[in-house]
Amino acid sequence: MIVMVINSGSSSLKYQLFEMNGGKVLAKGLCERIGIDGLLTHQPAGKDKIVTKLDMPSHQKAIEAAMSALISKEHGVLKSLNEISAVGHRIGHGGIYFSDSVRIDDSVKDAIRRVIPLAPLHNPAAIMGIEACEAVLGKEIAQVAVCDTAFHQSIPKKAYSYSLPLDLCEKHNIRRYGFHGTSHKYVAQQAASFIGRPYESLNFITCHLGNGSSIAAIEKGKSIDNTMGMTALEGLVMGTRCGDIDPGAISSLLREEQISVERLDEILYKESGLLGLSGISPDVRDIELAAKQGNTNAQNALDVLCYQIRKYIGAYMAALGGADAVVFTAGIGENSALVRANALRGLNRLGIEFDEERNNNCKGGPALISTDTSPTLVLVIPTNEEWVIANDALRLSGQKLQ
């Protein structure tokens, strides 16, 4: 049984095709520069990438290009598109409307549209991706929405409320929603299996550290806090996003620089974070190298990142009243032994005894990187959001594996 997973961005669209029997990725790809010119990178499993320039004026054309690649004679992996049983869509923002994955119908599309003011770039793209699939695969195809915010709907009011005037918060749906929920839930469940104890009996602090990063506090299977907020801008310093800053800096920038809101968004989302701090790159690999070569701005960017991770681990230890495990995942969390070490070293009094050698040798995990006597375990667990989305799509489509 074959399931397609789609992650639509404003000008890009990622896809992955899974054979659910055995969980094999058959092909994956990326449509870029949608609405500008168009570039398709298609990779059948075990083969080289094929990069093609194609006209992609819309998401529908991008989906058509991806589907053509999947059934093409030279590098296709399907005989016909009828072989696709279901499609799972990653939805960036579900607002208060979704606390689990859901089969898409008109009311689900309406709810995703209602959240557009909170996710003005991502949610319109998600709708375009869904409607493009309807147009190409037919309206009967089972489509499922998997929201990044859904897992965090259990966050209690005291942790999701922002102290702005109540009427403004209500009018504009201003509150913490939290993000990366699919990943936080998945790695916590994987960590519970790794430990060999029931997921609902454990407290976790999960650190999803990628281009976008967030840390979650999970109490007995339920998210109770996340460093990301109303948008995916709050919390940790990220590749190009600013993370926590004093909101006063925003009004000050608007006043002193006389810039538009659009320009401000560009600064906060695209020019800040590790890129802004280091002045060289948003990528931790580049920053680690530059810091090693003596670049002091790069060193500071790394220091800020590790300090913030450490600070939030401490905060969530307090919020949970202690954790059974701290879990690291995503590009940086799985691969940077340096970031993990600098975030965790010397936390013994908090009950975290981190093992340098295990950390250096963990190779992306799953692995234990705390000492055998550490009261709180530290784990590295690889995330796999696409696989979770594919499974939810299969489950909610009502079809079963033969």
**Which distant-in-sequence residues (6+ apart) come within 8 Å of 227 by Cβ?**
213, 214, 215, 216, 234, 235, 236, 243, 312
Q: Evaluate whether 333 touches 187 at the Cβ level (below 8 Å).
A: no
Q: Evaluate whether 177 touches 160 at the Cβ level (below 8 Å).
A: yes
Q: Total binding residues for ligand ADP by CB under 6 A? A: 12
Q: Evaluate whether 137 touches 87 at the Cβ level (below 8 Å).
A: yes
Q: Evaluate whether 204 touches 325 at the Cβ level (below 8 Å).
A: yes
Q: 104 vs 367, which CB is nearer to ligand ADP? A: 367
Q: Evaluate whether 71 touches 81 at the Cβ level (below 8 Å).
A: yes
Residues 319-348 that bind ligand ADP (CB under 6 A): 330-332, 335-336
Q: C-beta of 184: minimal distance to ligand ADP in Å?
A: 13
Q: C-beta of 212: minimal distance to ligand ADP in Å?
A: 5
End-to-end CA distance of the chain: 8
* Binding mask of the shown chain, residues 226 to 255, with x at each position contacting ligand ADP by CB under 6 A: -------------x----------------
Tokens representing 7 are 């992650």
What is the C-alpha to C-alpha distance for residues 223 and 200, in angstroms, rounded to an integer? 11
**Strand bridging mode 142-147 / 102-103:** antiparallel
Q: Is the dihedral of CA 57, 61, 63, 67 positive or negative?
A: negative
Residue nearest to ligand ADP (CB): 331
Q: C-beta of 146: minimal distance to ligand ADP in Å?
A: 15
Q: C-beta of 270: minimal distance to ligand ADP in Å?
A: 14
Q: 213 vs 223, which CB is nearer to ligand ADP? A: 213
Q: C-beta of 284: minimal distance to ligand ADP in Å?
A: 3
Phi, psi of 376 (to 5 degrees): -105, 125
In the annotation, is 148 catalytic? yes
Work out the burial of residue 242: count CB atoms within 10 Å of its CB; fewer than 13 is exposed, 13-18 middle, 19 or more buried: buried
Residues 173-232 that bind ligand ADP (CB under 6 A): 210-212
Q: 14 vs 175, which CB is nearer to ligand ADP? A: 14
What is the C-alpha to C-alpha distance for residues 227 and 209, in angstroms, rounded to an integer? 12
The one catalytic residue among 148, 225, 324, 392: 148
Q: C-beta of 183: minimal distance to ligand ADP in Å?
A: 9
Does 129 sit near ligand ADP (CB under 6 A)?
A: no
Q: 44 vs 210, which CB is nearer to ligand ADP? A: 210
Residues 272-311 that bind ligand ADP (CB under 6 A): 283-285
User: How many other CB atoms are found less than 10 A from the CB of residue 47?
Assistant: 11
Q: Which residues bind ligand ADP (CB under 6 A)?
A: 210-212, 239, 283-285, 330-332, 335-336
Residues annotated as catalytic are 148
